[in-house]
């Protein structure tokens, strides 16, 4: 978390506020968030006066295409999210200049602040400080091992059912772990793997190569359905994630399995169970999703 829908929502929220803006400065009280270049001083020097030409997503990464052949990569990790607005520093804390959604308690953990040439600001709020920020030469980023090993985008038109079957062919792992493998399919994490499996009526521990043609088809359609719906609703905000304007996403009303342990299945009324699959929690209906 954030996963594909939250990152896509962030990109869409950033575009109207960040495109054609230039960085005039940057502040941080936790410089370790910046992984490239080696020092925050170099980062601050290099990013200054760079203009934002585009904002796009690859898997769970947000990429800002900048002038001069550079790209800024932000991976929000577990609890990070980008916000755009205006803040003022009061007693060493950044406070929004006016009342509104930026005052949400989850938006107060600001550890990196970018200043735009029009007076607005872009903040990275991250309670656990796990986010990653890197400044790359664009060609180097696009040809990096990190990018080359990322799997196909599940919402791309090229991600056909045949492509999906090819990816899962002969895979011996448990299906939930396979869905979360970023080298196989980009952007799916714990939430949407559990949701897609619930819709497809597939147990999270089922061995992948044992899935029938019908199950594969149902799963393929469920992945598309869940991701598209969440993007439409602005992502999931039951925990830390917030949109760039500080508001919550609305997917929570549609969540059927993830984090609903002990609650009734929306399909059959059986209580949702939680188990560990590959050290991560998996939520499922024991009646609808039999092993």
Averaged pLDDT for residues 166-189: 97
Confidence of residue 98 (pLDDT cuts 50, 70, 90): very high
Could you tell me if 281 and 197 are in contact, meaning their C-beta atoms sit under 8 angstroms apart?
Answer: no
Residue 152 DSSP one-character state:
-
The yes-or-no verdict on residue 26 having pLDDT over 80 is yes
The pLDDT value recorded for residue 238 is: 87
Q: Cα separation of 28 and 45, whole Å?
A: 14
- Residue 92: predicted pLDDT: 86
Contact partners, residue 57, CB within 8 Å, separation at least 6 = 4, 7, 8, 10, 11, 63
For residue 254, pLDDT over 80 is answered with yes
pLDDT digits (tens, 9 = 90+) for 74-92: 999 999 999 999 999 999 8
Q: pTM, whole model, 2 decimals? A: 0.96
- Architecture of domain 161-284 in this structure: Orthogonal Bundle (1.10)
Enumerate the active-site residues: 2-3, 60, 280
4-148: which CATH architecture? Alpha-Beta Barrel (3.20)
| Cβ atoms of 230 and 10 closer than 8 Å | no
Instruction: Write the pLDDT tens digit of every residue in 234-248.
Output: 999 988 999 999 999
- Compute the distance between CA of residue 194 and CA of residue 188 in angstroms, rounded to an integer: 10
Quick one: pLDDT at residue 1? 73
Q: Give me the residue spans of the domains in the chain.
A: 4-148, 161-284
Residue-wise pLDDT for 106-155, tens only, equals 999 999 999 999 999 999 999 999 999 999 999 999 999 999 999 999 99
| Angstrom distance (rounded) from CA 163 to CA 165 | 5
**DSSP state, 160?**
-
Q: How many CB atoms lie within 10 A of CB 193?
A: 27
């Amino acid at each position: 978390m954030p996963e594909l829908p939250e990152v896509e929502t962030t990109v869409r929220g950033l575009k109207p506020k960040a495109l054609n803006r230039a960085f005039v400065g940057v502040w941080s009280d936790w410089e370790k968030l910046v992984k490239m270049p080696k020092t925050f001083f170099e980062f601050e020097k290099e990013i200054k006066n760079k203009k934002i030409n585009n904002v796009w997503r690859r898997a769970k990464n947000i990429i800002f295409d900048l002038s001069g052949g550079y790209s800024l990569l932000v991976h929000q990790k577990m609890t990070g999210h980008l916000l755009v607005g205006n803040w003022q520093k009061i007693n060493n804390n950044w406070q929004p200049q006016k009342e509104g959604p930026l005052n949400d308690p989850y938006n107060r953990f600001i550890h990196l602040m970018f200043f735009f040439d029009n007076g607005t600001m872009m903040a990275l709020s991250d309670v656990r400080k796990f986010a990653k920020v890197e400044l790359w030469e664009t060609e180097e980023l696009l040809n990096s091992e990190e990018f080359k090993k990322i799997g196909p985008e599940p919402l791309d038109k090229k991600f056909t059912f045949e492509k999906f079957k090819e990816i899962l062919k002969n895979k011996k792992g448990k299906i939930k772990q396979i869905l979360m493998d970023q080298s196989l399919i980009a952007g799916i994490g714990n939430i949407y793997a559990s949701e897609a499996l619930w819709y497809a009526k597939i147990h999270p521990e089922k061995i992948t190569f044992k899935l029938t043609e019908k199950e594969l088809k149902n799963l393929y359609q469920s992945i598309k359905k869940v991701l598209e719906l969440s993007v439409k609703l602005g992502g999931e905000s039951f925990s830390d994630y917030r949109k760039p304007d500080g508001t919550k996403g609305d997917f929570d009303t549609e969540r059927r399995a993830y984090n609903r342990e002990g609650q009734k299945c929306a399909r059959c009324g059986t209580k949702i169970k939680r188990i560990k699959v590959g050290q991560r929690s998996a939520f499922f209906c024991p009646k609808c999703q039999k092993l």
